[in-house]
Amino acid sequence: MYKLDIRVDTKESAAVERRRITEQQRQSRIFNARERTIGLDTNVLSEQMAKRKQDEDIEKQRTEAHAAEMTRADRVTVLLQERQDKDIRKINEGVIEYRKEHQRVRDRREFDLYDPDSLKKDLPARVSDEDPRLTISGVQVLSGEDLMSEKRKKLQQEQTREWTSQQKAEKERLAMEEREANRLYELKACEMDQRAVKLAMAEEEARKALNTAQRDYNLALAKEKAALQQQERAQEEDDNFTEMCNNVHGDILTENPDVAQSAFGSHRVIPDRWKGMSPSQIEEIRMTQEAQKQERAAQAEQERVLAEEWDRRRVVEAKARLILESQEKRRQKELALKLAEENRQLAASQRASREYLSKHVYVNSPTKDYFAQFNTSSR
């Protein structure tokens, strides 16, 4: 009997067909990314869009009402803030004037702690046994040397950690305060409205009372000023009469030589009454001038010797710097030659490695048949 005469099993054929249809449906669902991830339930999507639009409209109306309420509250707050700022500015001006007159910085007891010239007054970091102030030739402190770098770096790291912790705590605190402020905002808005009405009424009453008090004060001040001016005129006439009597009967017009002597000592005189120096005083001044000339000559000679010494030291230091520069150039040249040789060796090694990989390792390249076997089934 030939195989063609074998009866076909209908159950098996139906099962094969069912599996084939199921596989096609599965592939259509899996290979369709949109249907696989979000589905195609249009009714639910429409309901969600309608609900979202309704929520957006409600939120928009709520935001507009909230913005209008905030605008009105801001206007009241600005008026109150301007009045408070004006009072604070007057108080600060008085405080600044008082500090300028009676609390100067240089009169403070701890001024030496933040004196801007404190670094100029300090001694160097390294002290010499011969001269605590250190000279340039001592080579104890070089230009650009930083003796406190390690300590400063540690302090900077500790300060950075502290700042980070403070910023984190500050962010948490601000978040908590923002939540609390949002909760209390509505209560505060009602309170601000009531307070603004009360303040407006109190301001009107205070303005009326202030105008009445100002008028009474101006009247009293005018009367006091008139009485004071009358008293000043009488005092001025009395002073003028006394001054004329003193000028007529005083020692200024009588040519009394004793009037030139000062009350602060016999060596001091009053310039507007002085009659001239004595010969002994003139001779003493000449001797003092001669001594000053000799002292200035000695000082000039000392400065000349010191300048010559400084010139000699500058020449020696210049020669030393030239020698150091030549040694540094020679060392840099040797380092450049050594680096070039190392680069050549490294380049040769890399070329050999690439040739080995391209000729012996990466020789089996994938073909199109290799990539065609993927994404052909849903399993």
Category of 230 on φ-ψ map: left (φ > 0), alpha (ψ -120 to 50) or beta: alpha
pLDDT above 80 for 237: yes
For 44-48, the CB contacts below 8 A with 24+ separation are: none
pLDDT at 2 (0 to 100): 44
In this structure, are residues 133 and 123 in contact, taking their beta carbons and an 8 Å threshold?
yes
Amino acid at 367: T
Contacts of 23 (CB under 8 A, 6+ apart): 377, 378
User: For residue 111, how far is the Cα from the chain centroid?
Assistant: 23
Closest CA to 81 of 174, 198, 196, 190: 196
pLDDT digits over 262-307, tens only? 667 666 777 766 666 667 778 888 899 999 999 999 999 999 999 9
The residue ranking higher by pLDDT, 4 or 179, is 179
Structure tokens at 37: 């991830």
pLDDT above 70 for 326: yes
Packing angle, helices 42-102 and 149-249, rounded to 10: 40
Separation of alpha carbons 147 and 126, rounded Å: 10
Q: Is the pTM of this model over 0.75?
A: no
- Domain boundaries along the sequence of the chain: 13-43, 164-241
pLDDT digits over 117-147, tens only? 877 766 555 544 444 556 666 666 666 666 6
Does residue 320 sit in helix, strand or coil?
helix
pLDDT digits over 63-118, tens only? 888 888 888 888 888 999 898 999 999 999 988 888 888 878 777 787 878 778 87
Amino acid at 163: W
pLDDT at 136 (0 to 100): 63
Q: Name the average pLDDT for the chain.
A: 80
Does residue 33 sit in helix, strand or coil?
helix
The residue ranking higher by pLDDT, 372 or 222, is 222
Lowest-pLDDT range of 65-69, 154-158, 273-277, 353-357: 273-277
User: Can you give the three-state secondary structure of 165-217, one letter per residue?
Assistant: HHHHHHHHHHHHHHHHHHHHHHHHHHHHHHHHHHHHHHHHHHHHHHHHHHHHH
The residue ranking higher by pLDDT, 74 or 26, is 74
pLDDT at 1 (0 to 100): 39
- Of all residues in the chain, the percent with pLDDT exceeding 90 is 15
Helices within the chain (DSSP H only): 10-31, 33-37, 42-102, 118-121, 149-249, 279-356, 368-372
Which residues are bridge partners to 265 per DSSP?
A: 262
